[in-house]
């Protein structure tokens, strides 16, 4: 019965999003525990600066070599062969899979060795504001973390397979296992090996990220073999599609590196504050934005294979409106309760009041661009599904140029707050250009429904904001705001009252998304009551 229920959930965009979203919530909650442990143990200081800076080089290699192939190229081509007319199409799909996997492994190992050897020299460019001692510590952590990208390379090929077959459960559990590995490093390895234990925990997390997906890939029929076919038409097409996407990701990674370079020249702890605030804002982005985008991608790809533009527009409109319905009120709530959120999640141990205030300010600015950050994955995947990887690259390049320029200029006067402001402005521009281009490409994107829903969502979110603000100040005198439980009660009550007000006002305005939610609930009830017949 449970297996049948999972199969039914994975058969639709909504069901896939529910699985991914639920697992993403669990992963993000564990991620918040991870960040709380990091903040309370080390504070926003030198250790966390080096820890977060050490991710930059491995992330750069991984993103340009792996994500460039899998997020935009592998899934559409794999599905095209799997559902193709040829009798041996499935065997060809598996050949493509093993070729891509083996090429990635060889390339990742080669780049990791080079990066390992050049790491001390590269740190002078990546963290120029760090002292010699901090650069040495960053080099050590970077060298250890390079091992993680080998596991992530295999894991992401497996993720591509699971997504293609809409097997979202194991795929969604992988990030949870990754965070568990890091927490194990904090608790068990750091006391034994010092800060090196943090990096080893990252590698262990990457290994479990891979291992949890292997059984499902095996059941789907994948078998590993050493096979590389450079001349396979499908492989050639993947590389062709991958090149512009890789360039786009390289631009984004260079942007993150430059952001890291700028942050390293600011006050001690700026790198840590930026990353901690970014992790907090990524919670709703991943739960609402990425989960729906990942679930919709195979459906978009199938629409391209079937030349079904009408079907694509319908699915796009629904996913777009669902994201807005959830993320705009979340943005308002985070903006108004940013100090409480930071205090509850990070404000303990060595994470002092100065760290809390600066992180809360940074999180508040991130909240302004939360809607755009949540929509970008959906719109980018719309282009990828139609095998257009060039357009998002060009738009991303424009946004990155603006981000770097504004970040450098504003950080001179406003420090880390100015750096994040440049990021927020560039993110909004990125989203607007993607949407405008999609509108030109496909014509009407169900504009009337999107605009009508957005207006209702904004009105409901304003009401939510007023209620949250009123309740925040009403509850404060009734509790001890110097304690964890006092802040927790204030936050929970304000959020609950605001959320209820948002739900009631959107129901009163007969928001389309209320109907969608009611339909979700009805379908879920039918599945749980009789999963075999539903």
| Per-residue pLDDT reduced to its tens digit, 370-382 | 999 999 988 888 8
Which of the two residues, 385 and 154, has the higher pLDDT score? 154
What does the alpha-carbon distance between residue 354 and residue 204 come to, in Å, rounded to a whole number?
Answer: 33
The answer on 176 and 279 residing in a single domain is: no
Token pair for 342: 């930071």
Token pair for 121: 């020299």
The answer on 147 and 10 residing in a single domain is: no
* pLDDT single digits (tens) 220-247: 888 888 878 778 887 888 877 777 667 7
The answer on 328 and 402 residing in a single domain is: yes
pLDDT score of 528 more than 50: no
Whose tokens are 């194990």? That residue is 184
Q: Across residues 328-354, what is the average pLDDT? A: 90
What does the alpha-carbon distance between residue 123 and residue 135 come to, in Å, rounded to a whole number?
Answer: 6
Q: Band the pLDDT of 432: cuts 50, 70, 90.
A: very high
The answer on 405 and 318 residing in a single domain is: yes
Q: How far apart are the first and last CA of the chain?
A: 11
Which of 235, 268, 301 is a domain's end point?
268
CB atoms within 10 A of CB 218: 12
Domain count, the chain: 2
The answer on 55 and 4 residing in a single domain is: no
The answer on 277 and 264 residing in a single domain is: no
pLDDT score of 49 more than 80: yes
Calculated CA dihedral for residues 457, 458, 462, 467, nearest 10 degrees:
10
What does the alpha-carbon distance between residue 92 and residue 80 come to, in Å, rounded to a whole number?
Answer: 11
DSSP 3-state of 231: coil
DSSP 3-state of 442: helix
What pLDDT shows up at residue 87? 59
What does the alpha-carbon distance between residue 283 and residue 327 come to, in Å, rounded to a whole number?
Answer: 11
Sign of CA dihedral 363, 367, 369, 374: positive
Q: What percent of the chain has pLDDT over 90?
A: 39
The answer on 185 and 302 residing in a single domain is: no
Cβ proximity of 332 and 284 under 8 Å = no
Helix axes 46-54, 132-145, angle to 10 degrees: 40
* pLDDT single digits (tens) 335-346: 999 999 999 998
Per residue in 386-397, is it b (16+ CB within 10 Å) or e — as a string? bbbbebbbebbb
What pLDDT shows up at residue 523? 55
Which of 226, 242, 268 is a domain's end point?
268
Range of the domain at 395: 1-41+272-534
Cβ proximity of 122 and 68 under 8 Å = no
pLDDT score of 54 more than 70: yes
What does the alpha-carbon distance between residue 220 and residue 513 come to, in Å, rounded to a whole number?
Answer: 35
Which of 226, 248, 268 is a domain's end point?
268
Alpha helices in 127-226 (DSSP H): 132-145, 148-164, 168-184, 190-193, 196-211, 214-220
What pLDDT shows up at residue 504? 92
Cβ proximity of 50 and 137 under 8 Å = yes
Q: Across residues 240-256, what is the average pLDDT? A: 73
Q: Which of 248-252, 364-368, 393-397, 493-497 has the lowest mean pLDDT?
A: 248-252
The answer on 374 and 262 residing in a single domain is: no
* pLDDT single digits (tens) 453-487: 999 999 999 999 999 999 999 999 999 888 889 99
What pLDDT shows up at residue 15? 60
The answer on 61 and 21 residing in a single domain is: no
């Amino acid at each position: 019965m449970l297996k049948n229920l999972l199969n039914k959930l994975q058969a639709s965009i909504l069901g896939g999003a529910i699985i991914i979203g639920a697992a993403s919530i669990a992963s993000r909650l564990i991620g918040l525990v991870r960040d709380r442990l990091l903040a309370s143990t080390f504070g926003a200081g030198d250790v966390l600066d080096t820890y977060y800076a050490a991710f930059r080089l491995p992330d750069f290699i991984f993103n340009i070599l792996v994500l460039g192939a899998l997020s935009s190229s592998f899934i559409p081509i794999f599905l095209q062969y799997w559902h193709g007319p040829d009798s041996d199409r499935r065997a060809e799909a598996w050949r493509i899979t093993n070729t891509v996997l083996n090429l990635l492994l060889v390339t990742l190992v080669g780049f990791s060795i080079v990066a390992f050897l050049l790491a001390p020299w590269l740190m002078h460019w990546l963290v120029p504001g760090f002292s010699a001692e901090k650069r040495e510590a960053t080099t050590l952590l970077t060298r250890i973390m390079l091992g993680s990208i080998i596991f992530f390379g295999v894991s992401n090929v497996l993720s591509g397979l699971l997504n293609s077959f809409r097997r979202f459960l194991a795929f969604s559990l992988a990030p949870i296992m990754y965070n568990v590995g890091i927490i194990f490093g904090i608790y068990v390895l750091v006391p034994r090996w010092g800060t090196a234990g943090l990096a080893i925990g990252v590698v262990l997390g990457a290994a479990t990220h891979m291992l949890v997906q292997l059984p499902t890939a095996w059941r789907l029929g994948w078998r590993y073999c050493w096979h590389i076919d450079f001349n396979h038409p499908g492989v050639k097409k993947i590389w062709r599609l991958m090149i512009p996407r890789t360039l786009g990701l390289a631009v984004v990674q260079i942007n993150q590196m430059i952001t890291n370079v700028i942050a390293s020249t600011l006050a001690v702890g700026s790198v840590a504050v930026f990353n901690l605030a970014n992790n907090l804002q990524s919670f709703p982005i991943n739960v609402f934005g990425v989960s729906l985008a990942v679930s919709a991608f195979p459906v978009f790809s199938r629409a391209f294979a079937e030349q079904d533009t009408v079907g694509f527009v319908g699915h796009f409109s629904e996913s777009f409106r669902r994201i807005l319905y959830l993320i705009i009120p979340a943005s308002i709530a985070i903006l108004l309760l940013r100090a409480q959120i930071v205090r509850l999640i990070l404000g303990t141990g060595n994470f002092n009041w100065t760290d809390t205030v600066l992180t809360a300010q940074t999180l508040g600015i991130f909240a302004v661009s939360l809607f755009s950050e949540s929509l970008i994955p959906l719109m980018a995947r719309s282009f990828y599904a139609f095998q257009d990887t060039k357009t998002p690259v060009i738009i991303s390049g424009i946004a990155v140029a603006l981000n770097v320029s504004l970040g450098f200029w504003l950080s001179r006067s406003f420090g880390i707050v100015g750096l994040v402001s440049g990021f927020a402005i560039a993110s909004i521009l990125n989203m607007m250009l993607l949407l405008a281009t999609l509108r030109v490409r496909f014509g009407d994107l169900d504009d009337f429904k999107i605009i009508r829903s957005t207006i209702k969502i904004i009105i409901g979110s304003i009401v939510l904001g007023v209620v949250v603000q009123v309740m925040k100040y009403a509850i404060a005198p009734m509790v001890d705001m110097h304690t964890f439980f006092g802040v927790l009660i204030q936050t929970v009550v304000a959020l609950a009252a605001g959320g209820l007000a948002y739900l009631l006002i959107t129901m009163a305005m007969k928001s389309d998304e209320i109907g969608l939610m009611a339909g979700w609930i009805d379908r879920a009830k039918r599945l749980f009551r009789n999963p075999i017949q539903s």
